[in-house]
Amino acid sequence: MTETAFIHRFEPATSAGSPPLLLLHGTGGDENDLLGLGKLISPGSALLAPRGRVLEHGMPRFFRRLAEGVFDEDDVRRRARELGDFVAEARQRYGLAAPIAVGFSNGANIAAALLLQRPEALSGAILLRAMVPLSDPPNADIAGKPVLLLSGQGDPIVPASNSARLAALLSQAGASVTHRVLPAGHQLSQADVTLARDWIGNVDAKAA
């Protein structure tokens, strides 16, 4: 295994027209967590699901944090680079186009960091309950990349001002951002699934 290798699951595409998905779990999850979600929102897509390499009290995460909502930003940058290397290797190994990231919570935060640090790694992103990952983000050019940001109105972890700031940050970097605030908390709801599925269908239709 190389230094950038992640324990991961890969499921090949069953439909040639569906975009590959990079599935990024939340704190305490693993490479199996979002496979079902991936199949629901984009049936037929190839699914690439790595396990976060940082352990917090035995729970896998994609980067270190100093407290809830307070990130170790040097670690965020390093881990985003590692994840970008992994995606590049996996694309070569499995013959994939640049995937759409589908991240939940900690996975959504690393997906946002990856988008800003290694824009070429992703063709777009679905960010579920994401926060601003870097207080001083790089000057990224993500012109035209589609991003769906789904926030929870009653989310006790992500303040509304923070998710709004993330939407603005990604828009300023050129992304085509759709931000929806749902009547939900930090956990995912059926509305997340429906909106993500419809959004991917629209992105897919535009790409075709």
Query: Quick check: is 30 catalytic?
Result: no
The DSSP-derived string for 15-60 is STTSPPEEEE--TT--TTTTHHHHHHHSTT--EEEEPPSEEETTEE
For residue 94, what is the enclosing H or E element? Answer: helix 73-94
Return the structure tokens found at 198.
């419809």
| Set 45, 155, 163, 192: catalytic member | 155
Distances (CA, A) of 109 to 29, 94, 144: 14, 25, 20
Query: Quick check: is 155 catalytic?
Result: yes
Query: Quick check: is 75 catalytic?
Result: no
How far does CA 8 lie from the centroid of its chain? 15
Sign of the CA dihedral running 159, 103, 197, 173: positive
| Set 30, 186, 189, 204: catalytic member | 186
| Set 42, 105, 123, 163: catalytic member | 105
Catalytic residues: 105, 155, 186
